[in-house]
Each structure stands twice: as C-alpha cells, then as structure tokens.
A and B are shown apart, each in its own frame.
Chain A
Amino acid sequence: MAKFENSDDIKIIVATDCGSTTTKAILIEFTNGEYRLTTRGEAPTTVEAPFEDVTMGVLNAVAELEELSGRKLLDDNGKFISPANGKEGTDVFISTSSAGGGLQMMVAGVVRSMTAESAERAALGAGAIVMDVIASNDKRLPHQQIERIRQLRPDMILLSGGIDGGTTTHVVEIAELISAADPRPRLGSSYKLPVIYAGNKNAAKNVEETLGDKVDLKVVDNLRPVLERENLLPAREEIHELFMEHVMAQAPGYKKLMDWSDAPIMPTPGAVGLIIQTIAEQYGIEALGVDIGGATTDVFSVFRPDGKEAVFNRTVSANLGMSYSISNVFAEATLPKVMRWVPFKMDERDLRNRVKNKMIRPTTIPQSMEELIFEQAIAKEALRLAHIQHKSFATVLKGVQQQRTIADAFEQSSSGSSIVNMMTLDMLIGSGGVLSHAPRRQQSALMMIDAFSPEGLTRLAVDSIFMMPQLGVLTEVQPKAATEVFEKDCLIHLGTCVAPVGVPKKGGPLMKYTIELPTGTVSGTLNHLEMKKFELGLQENGLPQMAKATFEPEKNFDIGAGKGQPLTKELHGGVVGIILDGRGRPFDLSTLSEDDRVKYLKEWMTELDIYPAGKF
C-alpha cells in the first residue's frame, strides 16, 4: 500500500470488519471538503471450511463496493490498487476482525478486586473475551483453579499481581498454578501459549524461572504499579501485538490480510472502544455505547469521575443477547420483569416456549406486532442487566485508602464506587440488530431510555450499520475522517431525552419547560408519569438541528444544575426529536398498580408513537 507522510493526503479509504458470519466493507471518500461514507458492501466470512481463507470474504465484500461505487479497487490479480488515482484504487486499506470467536483470554491476579480486576479491565479494553479470572482469593481450591486453566484453552493469559515492591510469593504461586496446568493454546499446537506478565516488577525474574520453559512469556510494566493508579496501556499494547503475532497468524488467510493492511488488524471490540474514546476526547463529552448481539452484549463507556481525566471501560455480558442467549436473559431477568413492559397479558407456558424456540432457531424475526413488543421487552431487560454489570465493573480503583473530609462523609461514596454517572452522561449510543433495525426509531429511543434510565439531558443515537469497528481502526490512520464519518454517516441521531431526577408525588409537577423549536416556542409543565415528544430534526448534512431550552425543576428535582436549579441549554434534535420523561428517577414500574401500569404504558406508547394505534 502507498505510504503517506501527511494523513491529510489520504482521500480514499477502504475498511473491512471480518465478523464471525459477515465481512462488512465500507468506502470513505473525501469530497466537497469533507470525508463521507459513500458505499458499503458485505459478503459471508470465509474463515471456516471449505474456504479457510479470510481474504476471500474480504475480496468479495470489496468487489461489492466496486460494483456499487463504480470505483475499481482491485487489480486483475486481486490486489488493492494503491494509491488512488482518479476513479481507481484506494489510499488506505484497514481491517478489524472477530472471526473465529475473537480474542479469548484468561486473566490472573493476586486479589480479585484489585490486581485481578485491573488485569480484567486491561484485557476487556483490548477487545478480549475474558473466559475466567483466577485470583489467590477467588474461593476456589488450587486444584480446581488448575483444572479450570487446563480446560479453558485460551488464546493467551494475562498474569498480574502485586504492586511494585509488594508481594512476590502470591504472584509466583499463581505462576506455579499456570505451570502445573500446562495450558495449551486454542488454535494450533505448534506454538507455546503466550503469557503476558504485568505484575510486581520484583517478581518478574521468579515468574520467568517458573514459566519460562513452558510458555511464551512476555514481561511488560506492572499494570497496577501502586494501589492508587492503573497503568493498563503497556499490557493492552502487548495483547494487541500478540493478537497479531499468534492468534491472527493462526487463523487462515490472516497473514495475507495483515500484509494488505496499512494499520495493525484489531479485535473488533477493541476498535469500537477506540472510536468511542476518540469521540469522547474530541468533543470533551462522556459517552456510553452498547452493542447488543445475538449471544453477547458489549457496553463501552468514557466517564470523567474527577471532571478531568477520561476513564474508559468495557464490559462484555457473555450470556445476554437476543437470539442464542435470549433464554438466559429471560432466566436472569425473570418473567415479571420482562412482562412489565408489555401492555397486555400473555400465557407464561406459551411465552417460555416462544423464547426457547427463538434460542434454537436464532435467525427468525417477529412477524406480528405482539411478537415485536415482546421481543423489545426482552431487549430492554438484556440492556438493563448489561448496564448493571457495567456499572458494577466501571468503578474507581478498589483497595485505595481515601482521605475524607466531613463533607465527604455525608456523600457515602466509597472505594470501589461506580464511575458511571447517568446525570453527567452526554451521549448514549445503541448498536446491534434490535436497536439498529427496529421498525420505528422511536422504539430504539424508548428501549434505551427504559433500560438505561438516563438522567438530566442525554443525547440518544444508534449506529445504523455497525460501522464503529472500521472507524475505530481509522482513528489510528486518519482521525479526522473517522470522527467526521462517525458524526455524519455512522450515527443516526435520535434526539435528546430530558429526565428530571427525583421521586415525584403522583400526578404532581416535576418541572416547567420552554423550548425554542424552529417551528415555534413550546412551553408548559411536565407532570409525574407524563412523557412528551417534540419534533426537532436533522440538518441537511445529517447533523442534528439545535434548539435552546430552559428547564425550571421543582425544588426536589434536578435536571443537571442541582435540585430546584433552572438550566438553559442547547438541545440536539434527531429523527425522533426531544423526549421529556416525567417518570422520575429512580423509576420503577412495579410501584404502579396493574391497571395503572397498563394505562400508562399505553399512554407513553401513544404519545411517543411507538407502535401503530390499535395494535397494543
């Protein structure tokens, strides 16, 4: 591929994401002074027999780009034409991959809630699926831990433990367990299992003596050098390095794909994390992204707990999904929790069978409105559970002693408290079939509002075609193109949710509002259990229209400026518009009587135009 000294010279970009079933390709072109997505194509992934060469799927997807765009990208030998010249070729080709089950890791540390959790954060942040976390205090007996390590067959292990100058014995003990298990890598038997050591630097030599012969050991800086600070970057970089060297190199066709690519191939979730971090950094906002798939749900977030430094977190809820794992959502959430979102009665035995039938036949789609409403109710619970898991994982560092003042004592914040603050969150981004392909965009908005309970002012958006992975890698090559395409083509801006926080009296007022919409100013009072929607759409370039709004909450309610404090702010529009949510926070449907629950669900669905009239 052509090399560019100045990234601004890159005008044509082809990016692919090799998923486990589909390879998706996008073409980005610089026209009229801006980067825009112009074409997308897809083809089945060809990692498994009989093809066993991932590049075939990539070429097929790129061939579709060629057909649709009229731009010749490949030469007669099936190689990329580079650099671009007129209507031919591309300047850059990049790719991500989750084919072959993605990157599967095991992590180990000394204390479960400290070094082991930091190691888990490093692995998840790098885009891995964490198969298990082994720690000295995980309540399993050593032989059980060894048995588990032996069974798992991960792609690699991340071993941490001890702050620098801290415990050596416990770290070496864990290394001894790994040595006794003599683990084998998942793919291929011709190479040793990669193990990254990112623990107490004083124990590195001992760990090397214990493990050196049996595994391919890499030593990097301690990921928790002192209790008060994490240093996850060196471990994450080594994970990516080994992912390329070992895991990708074992997958059929990847050597060729790596040769073609202008940037290292990234695990798909790692790339999604990168774009979310880039956007949060560029706009100085806090963002939370969720990708709900058939088997798993990923949640990514960037928050600024101290108001300055952004902290990134990713969690994978392995068994929360809308097809393969739908039955598990149902089991974990329980039937009453799912059915509370449905404004009519359904037979329990029949429902259980429907859920299981979706699990065994995962590709079916809801044909009737009743099925759609039920499926979206399950999605709300899957998202809610994934959010709870994310909140409990994305915390300030545990085990850190805090100096408290008298004022802090009243706040009840403690070591290990969540940094996920829905009031300060600026943007909530949804992705995955049930959110991206909902027949009405209002449905996606309501699913996210009901599942995440955003507080104050929160922008809502969905990723229309799951382009975030490709844009994530693109940030490494041409960040401007990545953010421009993200804002204008990747996101479908839904609008803004406005939700005052506080426990209301039934029927009482929550706040007064005045919104200066392009069609005229609206004002009024938002009462308890009311939801209101106002149209505020998009500009021609795909970006949201803006409207100045003033909110005057009642004395027990907070809209972002403090209890009872008024707030004036510019609201972002979108294809749905502005949604005022008067249900209060925290909001619990179960506090309503059965008759009220059905009555209000119907009212909200009607006001927000969620489902066609007469169908619920």
Chain B
Amino acid sequence: MAHAYTPGLKVTDKILIKKDRILPLKGDVLVKVGDKVTPQDIVARTHLPGNVVPLNVANKLSLPPEDLAEVMIKKEGDEIKEGEAIAFKKGFIKWFNADCKATITGTLESISTITGQVLQRGMPIPVEVKAYITGEVTEVIENEGVVIDTYAAFVQGIFGIGGETSGEIVIATPDNLTILSDDLITDDMKGKVVVGGSLVTAKAMDKACKIGVHGIVVGGFDDQDLRDILGYDIGVAITGNEDIVTTLVVTEGFGEIAMAHGTFDLLKANAGKQACMNGATQIRAGVIRPEIIIPKEELSITDAGDGKSEITGIKVGSPIRVIRHPYFGRLGNVTGLPSPLHVLESESKARILEVEFEDGEKAIVPRANVEMIESK
C-alpha cells in the first residue's frame, strides 16, 4: 500500500524518558546512581570563571608598559579586593607617590608589559543544575552531570516560550475547542500547569503571569499577542530563555486551532498529577520541541515504550491535520495517496494526498502540508 512519511509530534501515555542533566563546565555531581530525585533537587553544581575586567595600570600610573613589573604589588594568581592597591609607584617626594586600586574582587589574572594592561578576574559564578523531572538517577557522568530516567506520559508541543517548570495539571476548559479566556484563570491556579482548548487570549496569559501560574498548555496562540507579551517579535524560532513567569506550550500552531483530541484527552486523564514542562523550542538543525512530561511512578519498563516508536508513515485511513492554508488546522483521514505529481492551484507541482475532513468534505492537499496525528 502506498504510504508517505510525514513527521508528527509525539503524544503518548507511556514512555521511558531519559534526561541528560549536564553542567556547562566540569564540576561536582551531587547525586549517585539509584537516587530518587524530584524536579527542584540540585543534581550538579559548578562555578563559571568570573568576568574579566581589564585595567590599564601603566596608563593610570603614567608609566611605560615595560616598567609595569617593577610597580606591581600583586602578582599573577594573587587574590585581590575591590579598592585594594595592586600597584604602587614611588615618586621623588611622597606627594608624587601613586597607586592603582583593584576595581573588582577576585584574582589577578595577568600582567602585560606590552600593553600595560592588567586583567582582573571576578569571583566565580555558581551554576546549579536541577533534576527538572521526578525520576531515578541511572547514570553519573563524572564531573559533568547525570542521566535521569522516568516512566511518563509525554506530549510534544510545536512551539513554546519560557524555560523549565513544573506543577499540578488543572484542566481549565470543558473541551479542546474552548478558548482559554481570562475569566477561566483563577487565583487557585498559582503554581499549577493549566490546560486550555483552542487558544489562550492575551488577557488570560497576562492574568496567569500575574497570579503566578507555572505553565499553560493550549492548542493555539496569536502571534500579535505573543509580540505584545514579549515586547518584541520573535524572528527565528529559538526560544526558552524568555523572562516570563508562565511557561507556554502551544501544541498545534499560531491562530485559533483546536488542540488535538488525543492530546487534550491525555492531559485531562492526568489532571491532578504533576507535570514537568519546558517551552524551549529550536527549529533548525538539531530541532528541539517544547514538552510536557507527566512522570508516572506506577509504570515500569514493561509498560513503557522506549520512545523510538516505529515510523510507519501515512497510509490510507491515517488521521492527519492540515498545517497550511487554505485548509489550515482541519482534521481528517487520508483517502488516497496517488503517486504522480499533481499541479496545485499555485501551479507548483507536488506530491499530494486525498483527504476526507471530519465534516465529510473532501480535498486534495500537498503531502508537505499535512502532519500525521501520532497518538498511542
């Protein structure tokens, strides 16, 4: 039977998730294999080298750079304190004595007799890596970090903003079609992960941030509202570092678009459970999609898949969603996969498929413009 591979986003109620939690530089790992961890636990810690602040001591003391070594009180590698003299020039008389003081606290990195410059390095900056998910440490990478395993339900979004967070799942809309408006956001949602239907309004997002909602999962979001919230336009889809209280994960796309039934039902079935989510998105080589992980301690290796589900491709009967105009967002089933190239209305030649939408309407759509709804 004819089939085509069309990427879909993963939505599954049981999967083994392995998360690498790695430091940016080598440091100390604080947990060991077999330890149970929760999202806020710190699993590894290190110190980034402090900022370097140059100071032209030769200029300050009106010296040629080659004479610098003679006046330095502090040597390379010495600790320095802000305001402490690091160089001293003796004058003919006491009045002409001059010194040069450190501008930061830290260590003296280097002294250059070519430029007359002294590099001061600030105090190390501590960096901690949290567990992010509830699970078990299954591997320790010495001095670098750990791998945490958890059996979980898993939902991949298409786009998100904001970083890692966690909270109890609350379903705020009666179904996958209802818009998540501000009146549906209530004070008791503080610290929780709120699930909506086809769209979250700007007002609702604003209210969620004010209340302190940890995350929102919803089908669609308006680009105009995204710009209003962030204060700038996202030019390329590399997100995750936005300074916002509420992490947002959009499961379907921009505009008002119903969350897929499978996704909504899965989240609804897990209401009251803890979800770990991350809005970080990167749509380039090495693609990163936003995610919602719902750890399930009751699951075991025999229940959960390994995440490498077989790519079966689209076949006649496969459920799909159209992801571009003129049928954007509509759901249906594939009724045919003709092989020859087809001339579209735009006069482009492309491989197409035939689809029957939920309301019975039939249409022809380029294969590039559909997404398989992958759910199991």
- Which chain B positions have C-beta within 8 A of A173? 54, 115, 117
Given contacts A143-B53, A180-B52, A368-B346, contact A319 B325 (CB under 8 A): no
Query: Beta-carbon contacts of B252-274 to A below 8 Å, as 1s and 0s?
Result: 01110000000000000000000
Interface check B341, CB cutoff 8 A? no
> Do B54 and A142 touch across chains, with their CB atoms under 8 A apart?
yes
- Which chain A positions have C-beta within 8 A of B235? 319, 325, 327-328, 331-332
> Do A172 and B115 touch across chains, with their CB atoms under 8 A apart?
yes
Given contacts A173-B115, A360-B159, contact A371 B222 (CB under 8 A): no
Q: Restricting to B90-125, which residues have a CB under 8 Å from any CB of A?
A: 109-110, 112, 114-117, 119, 121
Q: Restricting to B306-334, which residues have a CB under 8 Å from any CB of A?
A: 323-326, 328
Q: How far is the CA of A20 from the CA of B287 in the complex (A)?
A: 13
Q: How far is the CA of A394 from the CA of B159 in the complex (A)?
A: 38
Interface check A101, CB cutoff 8 A? yes
Interface check B229, CB cutoff 8 A? no
How many residues of B are in contact with the other chain, CB < 8 A?
Answer: 49
Q: How far is the CA of A101 from the CA of B285 in the complex (A)?
A: 8
Query: What are 15 A-B residue pairs whose CB atoms fall within 8 Å in the complex?
Result: A101-B285, A146-B51, A147-B51, A180-B110, A319-B236, A332-B235, A360-B253, A361-B253, A364-B368, A365-B368, A366-B344, A366-B346, A367-B326, A368-B344, A370-B326
Given contacts A327-B234, A357-B254, contact A169 B348 (CB under 8 A): no
Interface check B350, CB cutoff 8 A? yes
Report B133 CB to chain A, min CB distance, Å: 23
Report B249 CB to chain A, min CB distance, Å: 12
Given contacts A365-B348, A365-B350, contact A350 B255 (CB under 8 A): yes
Given contacts A349-B224, A360-B254, A365-B350, contact A324 B237 (CB under 8 A): yes
Q: How far is the CA of A440 from the CA of B116 in the complex (A)?
A: 64
> Do A169 and B115 touch across chains, with their CB atoms under 8 A apart?
yes
Q: How far is the CA of A365 from the CA of B347 in the complex (A)?
A: 11
> Do A360 and B158 touch across chains, with their CB atoms under 8 A apart?
yes
- Which chain B positions have C-beta within 8 A of A353? 222-223, 253-255
Query: Beta-carbon contacts of A292-308 to B below 8 Å, as 1s and 0s?
Result: 00010000000000000
Interface check A95, CB cutoff 8 A? no
- Which chain B positions have C-beta within 8 A of A368? 325-326, 344-346
Report B289 CB to chain A, min CB distance, Å: 9
> Do B283 and A362 touch across chains, with their CB atoms under 8 A apart?
yes
Interface check B233, CB cutoff 8 A? yes
- Which chain A positions have C-beta within 8 A of B51? 143, 146-147
Q: How far is the CA of A579 from the CA of B283 in the complex (A)?
A: 39
Given contacts A176-B115, A367-B326, contact A324 B255 (CB under 8 A): no
> Do A210 and B114 touch across chains, with their CB atoms under 8 A apart?
yes
> Do A354 and B348 touch across chains, with their CB atoms under 8 A apart?
no
> Do B114 and A169 touch across chains, with their CB atoms under 8 A apart?
yes
- Which chain A positions have C-beta within 8 A of B158? 360-361
Interface check A33, CB cutoff 8 A? no
Report A494 CB to chain B, min CB distance, Å: 17
> Do A372 and B255 touch across chains, with their CB atoms under 8 A apart?
no
Nearest A-chain residue to B256, judged by Cβ: A353
Interface check A403, CB cutoff 8 A? no
- A20, A179, A352, A360: which contacts B224 (Cβ < 8 A)? A352
Q: How far is the CA of A143 from the CA of B254 in the complex (A)?
A: 40
Query: Beta-carbon contacts of A367-384 to B below 8 Å, as 1s and 0s?
Result: 111111000000000000
Report A442 CB to chain B, min CB distance, Å: 11
Q: Restricting to A145-203, which residues have a CB under 8 Å from any CB of B?
A: 146-147, 168-169, 172-173, 176-177, 179-181
Given contacts A359-B236, A359-B283, A360-B158, contact A143 B52 (CB under 8 A): yes
Given contacts A176-B54, A180-B121, 15 further A-B contacts (CB under 8 A): A146-B51, A169-B65, A169-B116, A172-B114, A172-B115, A176-B110, A324-B284, A325-B235, A352-B222, A352-B254, A361-B324, A367-B324, A367-B369, A371-B326, A612-B347
Interface check A356, CB cutoff 8 A? yes
Q: How far is the CA of A181 from the CA of B121 in the complex (A)?
A: 11
- A168, A371, A437: which contacts B324 (Cβ < 8 A)? A371
Nearest B-chain residue to A611, judged by Cβ: B347
Q: How far is the CA of A368 from the CA of B365 in the complex (A)?
A: 10
> Do B237 and A360 touch across chains, with their CB atoms under 8 A apart?
yes
- Which chain B positions have C-beta within 8 A of A372? 346-348
Q: How far is the CA of A372 from the CA of B325 in the complex (A)?
A: 11
Interface check B291, CB cutoff 8 A? no
Q: How far is the CA of A113 from the CA of B56 in the complex (A)?
A: 25
Report A568 CB to chain B, min CB distance, Å: 38
Q: Restricting to B197-249, which residues have a CB under 8 Å from any CB of A?
A: 222-224, 226, 233-237
Report B330 CB to chain A, min CB distance, Å: 13
Q: Restricting to B6-23, which residues have a CB under 8 Å from any CB of A?
A: none
> Do A371 and B346 touch across chains, with their CB atoms under 8 A apart?
yes
Interface check B356, CB cutoff 8 A? no
Interface check A355, CB cutoff 8 A? yes
Q: How far is the CA of A425 from the CA of B228 in the complex (A)?
A: 43
> Do A176 and B323 touch across chains, with their CB atoms under 8 A apart?
no
Report B69 CB to chain A, min CB distance, Å: 14
- Which chain A positions have C-beta within 8 A of B168? none
Q: How far is the CA of A348 from the CA of B223 in the complex (A)?
A: 10
> Do A327 and B233 touch across chains, with their CB atoms under 8 A apart?
yes
- A20, A176, A364, A371: which contacts B119 (Cβ < 8 A)? A176
- Which chain A positions have C-beta within 8 A of B223? 349, 352-353, 355-356
- Which chain A positions have C-beta within 8 A of B109? 180
Interface check A593, CB cutoff 8 A? no
> Do B346 and A359 touch across chains, with their CB atoms under 8 A apart?
no
Q: Restricting to B47-101, which residues have a CB under 8 Å from any CB of A?
A: 51-54, 65
